[in-house]
Amino acid sequence: MLTNRSMNATGKRLARAAFVTLLMAGVAGCNTSKETTGSISRAGQASEAMSASDLQGSTDALGRKYASDPNNKPVALQYASALQMKGQNDQSLAVMRKLAIGYPKDRDVLAAYGKALAASGELKPALDAVRRAQTPEYPDWRLVSAEAAILDQLGQTQDARGLYRKALDLKPNEPTVLSNLGMSYVLEGDLKSAETYLRSAASQPGADSRVRQNLALAVGLQGRFDEAEQIARQELSPEQAQANVAYLRGMLSQQNAWNQIKAEGKSAKN
């Protein structure tokens, strides 16, 4: 088992990758209008339930709409979100930079712009954008959680956890907030605490595949690989199962990460 002392560099890299993915999910629904920024729809299908081919088709369709009218706010927001789901963060950020120029004070745009900046690793500008999108007298729990996630990435752990708990006061038992809090403990190497929060997150109604994948990651980092694989496959549909396993394996494919974690975990025991 990897502990806070022995957690290896490979595990931390994977944790950070998962953390940014969930950060994107946390900011995705910040819009206050009827426009949908947190999902890409195809006949009402949520992005988390899409197969790779479905997601590609939706992204292509949104790209054509965006090219014909780059200043169309709902289309640009959805297109940027679709690009992030595909891992095309630089292109997503370019879309949001252009939109932010046209809508410099729009709360929805600022929130999505902060999401795009964070996904691209530009954490301090992301923090500024998320804070400018917030309305102190009517705080949005999604923005509070997103700010906390960015602070976690900046190493301000205690401030971040205070904000997570504020977000949970605003939205009790919200799975994305619980999962972000769990990933905070993963980054610290406290995998037991992380698993507790992530299991709570995964058990909540509305928990999506990214929440479950982070639980699978926390379990896998403790050396329980079969259990991690089972969690990754526990989905409501074959499409979701395929997407989730592909997500986890994709994260672990770089430099044979599963084997690295196993080897480093064994070394820590000796």
CATH number of the domain enclosing 5 = 1.25.40
The predicted pLDDT at position 38 comes to: 31
Shared domain check, 57 and 22: no
- DSSP for residue 157: H
pTM for this entry: 0.72
Would the CA dihedral through 247, 13, 207, 149 be positive or negative? negative
The answer to whether residues 37 and 104 belong to one domain is yes
Residue 78 in any domain: the answer is yes
Count up the domains in the chain and report the number. 2
User: Using one digit for the tens of pLDDT, what is the confidence trace for 176-186?
Assistant: 999 999 999 98
Same domain for 115 and 38: yes
Q: Are residues 4 and 45 in the same domain?
A: no
User: Has residue 144 been placed in a domain?
Assistant: no
The pLDDT value recorded for residue 259 is 58
Query: Is 162 among the domain residues?
Result: no
Distance set, CA 127 to CA 29, 112, 114, 167, 265 (Å): 17, 12, 7, 16, 35
Residues of the chain with pLDDT under 50: 1-6, 24-48, 236, 255
Q: Identify the domain containing residue 183 by its residue range.
A: 1-26+169-264
In the prediction, which pLDDT does 6 show?
45
- Listed in sequence order, the residues at least 6 apart from 151 whose beta carbon sits closer than 8 Å to its beta carbon are 127, 157, 159, 160, 163
Which pLDDT value is given to residue 221? 81
Question: Does residue 65 sit within a domain?
Answer: yes
Task: Report if residue 145 sits inside a domain.
Answer: no
